[in-house]
Every structure is written in structure tokens, then in C-alpha cells.
Structure 1
Amino acid sequence: MTPHLRALPGDPASPPLGTSHLSEEGVGVDLAPLGYTEHEYLVDGTAGLHRHRDGVRERVGELPFTTRVLVRVPAPGRFNGVVAAEPLHPDYDSAPAWRVAHGWITATGAAWVGITQDHRSAATLREHYDPERYREVSLPAAGLGWDIVGSVLADLRTPGRSVLGEPAARVRHVYLSGWSNTGSFCRVFLQDGFHERHRLPDGRPAVDGYLIGISSGAAGASGYPPLSEDSEVLPPDDPRRTIGPAGVPVIELLSEFESETHHAALRPDSDAPEDRYRLYQVAGTSHHDPLTSTVLTNTAQFRRKGHDVSDWRIAEPTSDARPDAVARAVYALLHRWAATGQAPPRAARFTFAAAESEAPAGTAEELLRDEDGNVTGGVRTPWVEAPLASYRPHSTPAPGSCLPSPWAPLADPRAVAGLIGHMTPLPPTRLAGLYPGPGDRTHRFEEACARLTGQGLLLEEDARALLDAARRTRLPTPPDHHAAATTDEKGPRT
């Protein structure tokens, strides 16, 4: 069945869930000054139901669906032919890829497409957010999302069937990316035949490149979700958990959190034409980045509806790391690789504390750390190359905080806080040893930024923002060593 689409009204009194901007709450991204507009569609069609039996994918039926698709497009004449698409996350039907990449998307003139694909999200939209606006949304079974996303992507270049409208005829490159749960969605889509299944009329794939963000391939059902409710979970050492030749560029981007369990899914980088692959492990980062939490509007919209929405506060000092800055550069590298064939740089990997490990596949393994407690190897971010703190990928919840949403694939506050990074400030005496001169720390920070921008792993505008913040940071004053030297255990000398 060919998908059919209908536009939903742009009613300010009833905005889409996850709308780009809520001025009253001060959250989101105001599209108007950027020359972008937002549209929402209902898409009808049929999707296959799939499952694994004894490790083999089989199609067990087909069901009708009605989903919603959220679209952000630049003004006519500014569209660069690039579409950044993502399957929306079941946690409030949110858009974590837009959260990290919106700056690159809007600066370059790309379009963005977010697709509701999880059956839990249909109930969220219909029953808990806006029963009138979303009364027709129906995803009657888990596991329809693979074909739903594939069919929407395959139609992006076809005027009359594309959610992009008139710009469809000018689409040149479509990239699929996801973060956390939706990063794992992209892995399954790619590895279990859906990339091959959804193609253009001329035989080319509907997707020209993948960015799989903060998803550990070996981490049980979270790293490789079952195809449907009636589907087995692939074993942790199943080869499909490791990215294979795709015919298009694939980049995986991991924080320290996912790297702890990704060991069994590791593979070498490759520049082979049919196996273009990179892995970037970003030092000093964790799964959740609180500093970008105000980009998305979904939780604020649920608060407006009177729902209880937990904040995510931790007991430790929250990390000031900016993994989103590296992520935006990786989007640019993916596009350059797909569009021009220019391969991105290779980066060192993290190393594990144990030289030899007999831990079962998917089990968390400790990463090797330096004398300050920071991870060794990986993409060397300026906050670990010129450290003021020790960065760790797990935290503990503040009392009454970190409650998971009813639709999140998490168990309890400890699991939520375990996704959040924290930092422990280095002692003033250590900082005095690292940076004896007044400008030493800033100089080291600048050098680290310059190395990353030279590699293409940090965009110039993000480097400037990081440097501005670093220059405003004052180092704590070390203890007065002269005063300490003139003091014995009996007290100050007179």
C-alpha cells in the first residue's frame, strides 16, 4: 500500500508534541529567525511485522498504520538538498538527534524529519497529550517502525508523496541518525535488512549514510532491540550487533557509558567502498547531556497538560562536558563522506583497564584512566586535555529526582542517574602543578580545540564557544604554601 499523507493544522493553541519552540517557557529553538518553518503530517500505510526465530528474520504479517511526521524546512531557495531524518524516541516521542544536531542542520540549510515509530508513542500522543489532534494515530503492534520509517524515507524524493512538499525534487542526500534507543533502532534497520528493503525506484538505497549515536551494540536488548514483541533478543555475540558493510558511510559515536559494554561489537575503521565505517569514542562524556535539555519542548508540553514530569538532578556536580559539539562535527563529516567521498579522520579508541577480559559479551568493563581519573584514548576533548575536573559517566540520583517517564525504557532513578555524567573538581594543588602560569590552562585548552578543528572533529563556531567559556573560568587559588610552612602542629609561630 502506497503511504498517503495529510497535513495537520498549524494551530498555535494546539501545537505538535515536540514543537520547535515554546517562547513562554523559554525552551526550544525559535525557527523564525533562522528562516525555517515547521509542519506536521499524518501518514497512512501498511507495514510488515517481523520477528527473529533461531536468529533468522522472518516476516509474519502486515498491518495498517497511521503515524505522524514532524518536518522542519528552510525557506525556498535555501534548502541544500540534505535531509537529516530520525525515528522519534519513545520517551515523550522526543527528538534526541535534533537536540544535538539542530545547529548544524539550520546553519547549512538542511531539512529535518522526525518520524513517530514506536507503538507506545501512539498511545502517548492519543491518550496523554492531545486526543483531538492525534485521534487517528494508530500503531497497532510493536515492531512496525522499521517499515514505517523506511517507507517515509523512500518517499522523501517523490513530490506528492513526500512530507517535504515542493523541496522533494531537490533532495540529494538523506541521512538517518538516532541517539540511545533510536541509535539502536538505526543499527537494527541497517543490520537486519531494512536498509536493503527500502530503496528508490532506480535501485539506490533510501538512506545515504547513518550516524548511530550513544548506542552500545553488545548491550542486550537496549543495543539491538527485538524486532517485535514476539521476537527473541539476539545473543550478545551475534555478528549483526557489529556494523557490517553497508554500501553507504556509517559512523558510530559513543560516550564512555556505552563504550563500557561495546567491547564485543568493536570492529576496525574502514575506507573500503562498500564498507565505509568510523567509530568515535568521545572522552569525558556520558550518555545524557543535561546542558542541552532545554532544546526539546516535549517535557514542558506535558507539564502544561498537568502531567508529573521528573527533573533529572544528581547528587554530584553535573558535568560541564559538551559532547554535542563533537556530534555536530561528526554530522558534517558524514555528509562530506557521502557527498564527496572524502574520508573522515580516524581516532584512537578507549582502552580497557584489564588487558585481557573474560567478561561475557555485553558486560560493563572498566575503562583505563589517568592519574586524574579521566579516561585515556578516544577523541581527546579539550575538557580532558586541559582538565579542571575528573569526568565520570555515572552518577547517583538526588533525592526525589531522576524518575523515569512512563514511556521510557528505564527501570528506576538509579538507572536514570547512571546515564548522567558528573565531574569532581581537581584539588587546587593539582591545578597549580598542571598550570603554573596564569595563561597555561587557556593555552592548553586552545591547543586541544585547534587539534580537533584541524581534524574536522570540532566545528569552528563550537570551538569559539568552548574557548569563550574556558577563558571566563577562574582557577581556584592554591593554598598559601608560605603560611603553611610557618605553621607547625602547635599552631602559628610568633
Structure 2
Amino acid sequence: MTGGEHGFPGTSTTLDLQTPGYEETEYFLSGTATSYERDGAWTSDGRWGVSAADTAPYRTRLLVRAPRNPADFNGTVLVEWLNVSGNSDADVAFPYMYDEIVREGYAWVGVSAQSVGVNSEGGASTVGDSVMGLKNWDPARYGDLVHPGDEYSYDIFTQAGAALRAARGVDPLPGMEAEQLIAAGQSQSAFRMATYANAFQPIAGVYDGLIVHSRSGISAPLGAQADAPAPQGPAGPDAPSPVRLRTDLDVPVLQMLSETELFELGGGAPGTRFVDARQPDSAMVRTWEMAGTAHSDRYLVAIMNAMYQRQFEGARDLSPVLGLINDGPQRYISAAALRAMRTWVIQGEAPRSVDPIQTADGTIVRDEHGNAVGGVRTPQVDVPIAALSGQTTLVPMNGSTTRFDAARLHEMYGSNAEYVARFTAAARAAVAGGFLLEEDAELLIAAAAASGIGEPAEGSPGH
């Protein structure tokens, strides 16, 4: 699909696709979707049954970012359930995993699975009232889209995956064969992905692995959901709370959690917090709780802000908050997670289990520097230059960064050489654990060496 009033698709990325040899294209997907209702009791173990209810026609869109040369495609497609909590489609997995995607030749496909992304008329968005769904943003391009409601979203997401495996008509991945499909959703979409894993993956069998990124202790309903689900659970007062992922799937599932989800996301009431939904690792489920991270962070907000500013006239400028929020290592852990999931899918080798972040008395246990104890470890928290928190201070769900001044850093490390030595050791440990990729570790070590961190402060004795 091309043309329209704006000349580019909704949710078009501002990240560089040209240099790594990628291109962004768009396709429409149409058919008849099925809605579902619960079949039997739903309990916290996630072993949920559903049965078909109604059918309705739909026409939605797929946004594709893939290597320009099909020979560069590695065979794996990351299929993202686009997030609609900002009143329009937004991609979150793609920016977090961008480095690994373009470095290793993945294809990425964003699915407009929910009604808000297609039909929203704007208003009531934290990003600004001008943020709206595709049909109202560009009627010339998207006026023919039809979304019958979120009760059909799960089947639409299933049909999107099936179309990538075997195109119906125009092929959205021309010259490329999708050998593995990895589904992903973050935040609002992660609530949906949890419900998809528990109720739909067993009957659909389309995806080879699922990444559930930043959910709380509950999941999404079968029907409409404006943002986060009600505290009662996914489908009303008799629905389970908390919600865990079923352990009898025949495909792997990786849960990724920032500090924010442990207590805050979902309202914070007992049963809605992720700490209440913790479960031990099993053959097909792994959980990574990422120390030093927040629900969204400086890296992501900067990218999202550029996208909103380009697409929506009058969108709120988010750049003033960038210096106030978490600046943690989530992008690097996310890249490692994608590679780990691909390895798990292809080779059957599960990622290493990791202890959860330590908690006590309804909060996160922190070390002498203010960083979380336990969880996925990276050099940013083990050899810190700041206290990185996912708990809300000034900007809800975005955590905070409290940087140490030069005097404190010199006291901690004594010299840049010592800082680099410790940072390098921590980076190597993270690589060995599978939580940081070697390519990213080398870049981070080089940046540490060039930073001067650990040297005496300007004007201090010995400088």
C-alpha cells in the first residue's frame, strides 16, 4: 500500500533502515475473523479453554520492515502486536530490538490487531488529542479498513501469522520464506499476548515462540480493552487474578519484566502485581526480571517522540522528560532476548534461568548505590555510574536515573582504567549469561574507555 494524504504509513519508523539495507512496506490483510468466549473455568494456571462465538469481516494492515535483498533474510520473522494505549498503533518491540533485527537479518511485521489502532477518532491520549487511529489520520490511505472490535483481535493476530507463512494473494515477504515466527507484545500488548499464550496458541499453533514483554499480574479480556485491564482480571469478577502462563505449551515463551511491573503496572492492588504472578521456570517458560529498567525509558521515549512528532501535528513533545526518566540497559537485554528466543526455537536450547529481583515488604531491595538486587545483571547495574530505578518518581511508569557526580565516581573507581576493568568483567559475565550480546558488549566497553569515568573531578587534587 502506498499513497494517501501523508505519503508514508502510520507508525512509520524514524530509525535508520537505509544504512542496514532494510525497507518499510505496508499491506492490507482481509478476511473473516472469529470471536471467542470462555469454555470452562479459567484459573490462575493459564490453562484456559475458548470456543468460537461470532464471525465478522475485517480489513486491517500489516507494516513490514525487512531486508531489501531477500538473500539477507535470516528466516525469522518477529511479529509484533502493535500497542494502542496511546490511542494509535505504536511499535515497541521493534525499537528495543532494532540493533539485533538489522544486524542479523530478521524481518519484522507489525499487526494492527486492535480496534483503537484502526478506528480511534483521537482525544484522551497522554500524547495529545491529535493522536488517532489509521482511518481518521489518513482516510485516503486507510478509509477502506474495517475492524469489527477487539473480541476479534486474537483471531486477526492468528490470521496475520498464517498469512506470513503462506501468503493469500500478494506476498508481504516477497522472495523470503518465513521459517520461524516469533510473536511479541509489550505493555498493553503484553496483556493480550498473555491471554493469547494461554487461550489461543494451543488451538492456533501458528507461532513458534512468544515474547511477553512488560505485563502485570493479570492479562487482557477476550473483548474490548481501552488500556490496562480491570483489576478483577481478564474477563470480569470471576476471572483469575493473578494470571500465570500455562506450562504445557509446545512452543517456548519468554517473559521480560522491568522493575515497574513488579508492583506498579496494573494498579498495584494485590493480585494485579507481577510479583503475585511469578512462577518458576519450566521447560517452555522463562522469566527475565531486568534490574535497572523501567516500563519505558529514555531510549524508547526518544524514538516514540520522533514518531509521534512526525505523524501527528500537535502531538505533545516528550523531549523535556528525557533527562528525568530511566536510562537503563533494556535495549541491550531485549536484543539478547530476541537472539535467545531464536536459538530456543531453532535449536531447542532454552535461555539460562535467572533469579528474580529481590523484593521485601512490597518494594524492591536495593544495594548501596540504589540499584536493584538480583534479576538480570548487566554492567550498568553491577558497575554503576547512576542509580537506575523503574519505580515512578516524576514521570509515571518511566522510572528515574540519579547520576553520580565525578567526585563520587572517582571515590568508587579511582581511575578510568579501574572503571573499565570492572565494567569489562561485568560485561563478560553478562555475555556468558546470555543477557548481553558480544557485539553490544564491545560497543559498551569502548564507550566506557572513552568516557573518562573514574578520573578525578575537574579542579580537584590530582587532576
Same fold (TM over 0.5): yes
Tell me, in whole angstroms, the C-alpha distance in 2 between the residues paired with 1:126 and 1:435.
Answer: 52
Matched, 1:86 2:72: no
1:321-400 matches, within 5 Å, as 321-354=328-361, 365-397=362-394
Instruction: Tell me the secondary structure at the aligned position of residue 156 of structure 1.
Output: helix
Task: Measure how far apart 1:438 and its partner are.
Answer: 4.3
Unaligned 5+ segments in structure 1 are 1-7, 21-27, 199-204, 355-364, 398-416, 483-494
Deviation per CA, 1:192-241: give whole Å up to 9, x if none. Answer: 2x11232xxxxxx210011111112x1xxxx4111113972466854743
Question: Aligned in 2, Cα 1:73/1:234: closer, same or farther, shift over 3 Å?
Answer: farther
Question: Aligned in 2, Cα 1:280/1:235: closer, same or farther, shift over 3 Å?
Answer: farther
Identity of aligned residues (%): 26
Question: Aligned in 2, Cα 1:212/1:234: closer, same or farther, shift over 3 Å?
Answer: farther
In structure 1, the residue matched to 2:266 is none
Matched, 1:147 2:155: yes
Matched, 1:245 2:248: yes
With normalisation by structure 1, the TM-score equals 0.78
1:447-486 matches, within 5 Å, as 447-473=425-451, 474-475=453-454, 477=456
In structure 2, the residue matched to 1:41 is 27
Q: For 2:150, give the aligned amino acid.
A: A
Question: Aligned in 2, Cα 1:143/1:369: closer, same or farther, shift over 3 Å?
Answer: same
Instruction: Tell me the secondary structure at the aligned position of residue 472 of structure 1.
Output: helix
Is this contact kept in 2: 1:325–1:462, CA < 8 A?
yes
Task: Measure how far apart 1:432 and its partner are.
Answer: 4.1
Instruction: Tell me the secondary structure at the aligned position of residue 343 of structure 2.
Output: helix
Tell me, in whole angstroms, the C-alpha distance in 2 between the residues paired with 1:351 and 1:323.
Answer: 18
Aligned counterpart in structure 2 of residue 184 of structure 1, from 188, 191, 194: 191
1:275-314 matches, within 5 Å, as 276-296=284-304, 298-303=307-312, 306-311=313-318, 313-314=320-321
What is the RMSD computed on CA atoms of the aligned residues? 2.8
Task: Measure how far apart 1:436 and its partner are.
Answer: 2.9
Choose 1 or 2 for highest CA Rg: 1
Question: Aligned in 2, Cα 1:299/1:480: closer, same or farther, shift over 3 Å?
Answer: closer
1:92-103 matches, within 5 Å, as 92-103=88-99
Aligned counterpart in structure 1 of residue 224 of structure 2, from 216, 226, 229: 229
Unaligned 5+ segments in structure 2 are 43-48, 120-131, 226-233, 264-272
Instruction: Tell me the secondary structure at the aligned position of residue 194 of structure 2.
Output: helix
Tell me, in whole angstroms, the C-alpha distance in 2 between the residues paired with 1:249 and 1:420.
Answer: 29
Tell me, in whole angstroms, the C-alpha distance in 1 between the residues paired with 2:346 and 2:3.
Answer: 34
Is this contact kept in 2: 1:291–1:320, CA < 8 A?
yes
Is this contact kept in 1: 2:10–2:134, CA < 8 A?
no
Deviation per CA, 1:41-71: give whole Å up to 9, x if none. Answer: 1111121223458747454311111101111
Task: Measure how far apart 1:459 and its partner are.
Answer: 1.1
In structure 2, the residue matched to 1:109 is 105
Tell me, in whole angstroms, the C-alpha distance in 2 between the residues paired with 1:301 and 1:317.
Answer: 23
Q: Which stretch of structure 1 is more off in the superposition, 232-241 or 135-144?
A: 232-241
Is this contact kept in 2: 1:83–1:113, CA < 8 A?
yes
Tell me, in whole angstroms, the C-alpha distance in 2 between the residues paired with 1:236 and 1:379.
Answer: 31
Deviation per CA, 1:285-328: give whole Å up to 9, x if none. Answer: 1110222344455302333xx23324164497433322111110
Instruction: Tell me the secondary structure at the aligned position of residue 463 of structure 1.
Output: helix
Tell me, in whole angstroms, the C-alpha distance in 2 between the residues paired with 1:428 and 1:41.
Answer: 52
Q: For 1:300, give the aligned amino acid.
A: Q
Question: Aligned in 2, Cα 1:48/1:439: closer, same or farther, shift over 3 Å?
Answer: same
Tell me, in whole angstroms, the C-alpha distance in 2 between the residues paired with 1:447 and 1:236.
Answer: 47
Deviation per CA, 1:61-119: give whole Å up to 9, x if none. Answer: 11111101111222122222111101111133011111111221222122111110111
